[in-house]
Chains A and B, each alone.
Chain A
Amino acid sequence: MKKKPTRREVLGHAARGATLLGLGGVGAALVTKTHKVMGWQLDPAKCVNSRLGATGVEVCELCSTECVEPLSAVRAVNEFSKCGRCYICPAYFNIKSAINEEGLPSEKLCPRDAIERKPIGWIDPYDPANNFYEYTIDETKCNGCGRCVMACKEPAGLSSIRLEVRYDACLDCNRCSIAIACPDDAYDLVPVEPA
């Protein structure tokens, strides 16, 4: 004959059950939270395209070719506060190309024509060198190839352009294929919100 549980046993089972449920809930919450707040980030100080001192080397374009997305989640970003607003921007023009009739390089550097150049403020129509220029990157075109980043790097430019992972485009893969391929170990999985 089955013994009827005592009041003490019933309360003990209930307490153990509640504890297990609580621990499970906390664990699940931690897993969910960890998954949501971690993201892949590119360290410009490690990336060869932006790392100071790494001059005379070929540009690394793996960010544009290794992402699992058709258009890489990596974009070039121009930090306007650092940009010189130059007349001849080495990130916009292919400064080694032949000079055209306007005295400008005849070719652009970006293979996807993702950088827009426009004079800002009051414009001197007689002397184009007498203007400041704003350079804006069209993120619908940019695939993060890094050519402009390398060309803007000190001492050629002011290092105002860097590569960034766009979180709205990143699939947040458990193992980022760009990070695996990156020869500079420049990718880190970092918290994107304060813990």
Chain B
Amino acid sequence: MEYRQVLTISGKGSGPEHFASTLRGIAIGGDDQLYAVGDSTLKVFDAQGKLLRHWRTGRPGYCVSVGDGGRVWVGEAEQLEIFDAAGKLVNSWRDPELLGLVTAIDFTPENVLVADARDRSIRRFDRKGKFLHNIGKDNRMKGFMIPNGILDFAVDGQGVIHATNPGKHRIEHYTSAGKLLGHFGRFDGIDPKGFPGCCNPTNLTVTAEDHIVVTEKAGPRAKIFDAEGELLTVVATEVFDPNCKNMDLAVDSQGRIYVVDTVRLAVFVFAPASGAGGVRP
């Protein structure tokens, strides 16, 4: 399966559709709308890349996720903010200890899962914000190995948590109770089946088919693995600025893959070359 770039959304600039200095997180909401957070702003684009609305966040955003009812969850330093679909702040969770630096948010039917990069762990909360326990911290490293500075994860259709552990060049799988189910990945500086450099992959998302899409830094690229860890395809590599790092990504209902170029502050959209649909070769 080959992918080709079909769209570029936003970019560096001072216009309302642009980001000035940072673009860190993206997510796909209803109608395949793109939610992008950077600077201290959240912007919503339609599937063609047209800016629909935007609003300020309380602090610079590091990640965004769209939950039930179209509510928009933005991860920040020491807090997360919850907005309604129109951008009105409806709630915020503040906790300097448990929400040190929120770099990923995802959901199970009963829980809110939050990656705290400062503590190198995933926090499990109930829907009301009551802390339950940590995930990924019960090991010799006392957490994930993230020299790259952020921790990313996603929950698949079966409720399994897939998390990056870039310092170990692995994707790890956990139950929501925190049990490590297994992992795949190995270092390889040449073969794209492995993960290169000091710490990759940096980011991931899960498709509707439970394929795992990852991004890497130095050199930047996006790849797709099946659930067993077999490389399916390299989505893109040379289109990104070589200085990109921690490139967030998302997948829409059409199987299009959205990847952030963190230097150009743009979102590149890739579609299967053979048309819309899944990613099986």
Contacts and interface: CB of A to CB of B under 8 A. Distances in A.
Contacts, number: 73
A85 B168 CA distance: 12
A56 interface: yes
Contacts of A96: 189-190
Contact of B242 (A56, A85, A99): A56
A40 B139 CA distance: 47
Interface in A154-191: 154-158
Contacts of A56: 242
B187 A130 contact: no
Of B169, B198, B242, B243, which is in contact with the most chain A CB atoms at under 10 Å from its CB?
Answer: B198
Interface residues of B, number: 25
Interface stretch (A4-12, A86-94, A136-144): A86-94
B171 interface: no
B199 A86 contact: yes
Contacts of A55: 218, 242-243
The A contact surface, by secondary structure, is: loop
A105 B139 CA distance: 25
Nearest to A123: B140
Interface string B239-263: 0001111000000000000000000
Nearest to B247: A155
B198 A89 contact: yes
A44 interface: no
B221 interface: no
A97 interface: yes
A86 B147 contact: yes
Interface string B177-220: 00000000011111000101111000000000000000001100
Contacts of A157: 147, 198
A70 interface: no
Contact of A90 (B141, B167, B198, B245): B198
Contact of B197 (A53, A95, A97): A95
A132 B242 CA distance: 27
Interface string B129-150: 0000000000111000101000
Contacts of B186: 103
Nearest to B202: A155
Interface string A44-59: 0000000011011000
Interface of B: 139-141, 145, 147, 167-170, 186-190, 194, 196-199, 217-218, 242-245
Given A122-B140, A124-B140, A129-B145, 4 more contacts: A55-B218, A84-B147, A90-B198, A155-B244
